[in-house]
Amino acid sequence: MERQLTLAQIESRLLSQDFTQLPFSDLLQNISDDPQLQQFAPDGVCQIDPRNGTLVIYNSARAKRIHTTASPNPNNLVDCACPICDGHVGDILDYAEHSEGFTFVNKNLYPIFLPIDELPCESADYFEHQDPEHRGRSSYGFHLLQWTSSIHTRDWHNMPFDDALISFQRLAAIEHSLLHQPSEFMSRSMIQMAQQSVSGYVSVIKNYGAAAGASLTHGHQQIGYSNILPQQFFNNLRFRKRNDKPFSQFILEENPKELQVWDFGEVLLVVPYFMKRPFDMLLLVKDTEVRYLHQLSDKQQQQVVKAIQAVCASLIALMQQMGKVPAFNFMVNNGPGCGLYIEFLAKTQLMGGFEQIGLYVCQANPKACAEELRTQIAQQLKSG
């Protein structure tokens, strides 16, 4: 029998079955009063590298994580013991049944963001923040985890499509609920006030494999809700202002046709012409006015999920063929100035010194990678 978390195990931790129906004040109070979260509270300070705008958030307590201090698992595929399957989870904030098992969202017990007692009097737009004494700016918010499936071995690459779609829909609903929360907890930037009535920034990332930063093999996504505009979001915004179009539209128009991997209809998968590492990919929503997951139509959601499943399965297969332990990240690029896209970065090549000064040496050709990916995606879609 496959290892999995059961409904009985989470009943005592079930704060809400539907995140969108959980009053924001209750959520804020619950997270603020949680003694376990306070034990691993972040420092609450964000600094900016003046050379390139890189943001650094400090959390000294995060080094105490058992996944940080434990000996690494060399095969990266099977945990001897899974704390999630054993029921060691934070309060459950959202839950939805699958054909087998379920998907759920809980509080990250080792958060990079937590609420603070007094909201700072500082610009919500970090690039306008004045900090002559270099003390940094306050960082605060929530840090949540979505477990793609309660079944240990299930993740995007091997789940039934309908189950994967449910997980994605819950992710989109939580993004919408956080961005449109009704309180003054999160200050609203001038950019956001000019574009939409949203507050704060929602970041969605996935780490798969130890080399990509995954501390657990049980498949999950991290959801960050904070006052900090991630640098990539700012880069997307800056690109739009500089070029009078979103980055995704630029790629749709300018990326060479031979680097197109798969056209799903409403979304397009490509290898970017500036590929830094073998098998880097961008999944672009063709309607570049869409900026958030929750703005996707039903048809767009279905095609995005189909693409995510095919990409994850392809990267795992290709890295195994390369003799490498599968590891990759994907990041949702949403927010102000954005045309919604997802970036996939496979850990196919180590970072070296030249890369650290911004000079990437890539050990593959974008056109050859696109051809390999095209073949692999076709196989995954056929088998799926």
Half-sphere exposure of 269 toward its Cβ, with a 13 Å CA cutoff? 27
> What pLDDT does 56 receive?
93
Nearest alpha-carbon partner for 341 in 349, 350, 332: 332
What per-residue confidence (pLDDT) applies to 2?
82
Residue 169 three-state SS: helix
Strand partners, 226: 141, 201
Q: Where are the domains of the chain?
A: 7-383
The topology (CATH level 3) of 7-383 is: HIT family, subunit A (3.30.428)
For residue 97, what are the contacts with CB-CB under 8 A and spacing of at least 6? 166
d(CA 276, CA 38): 39
pTM of the complete model: 0.93
Q: How far apart are the first and last CA of the chain?
A: 23
State the amino acid at position 218 in one-letter form: H
Per run of 10 residues, the mean pLDDT along the chain (length 384 residues) is: 87 93 94 92 88 88 63 50 90 96 95 86 63 82 97 97 98 96 74 67 96 94 93 91 96 98 98 97 97 97 98 98 96 93 96 89 96 97 86
DSSP 293: G
Nearest to 27 by CA among 222, 183, 196, 188: 183
Q: Can you give the pLDDT at residue 5?
A: 93
Q: Kindly report the CA angle at 298 between 292 and 299, in degrees rounded to 5?
A: 105
CB 267 within 8 A of CB 359: no
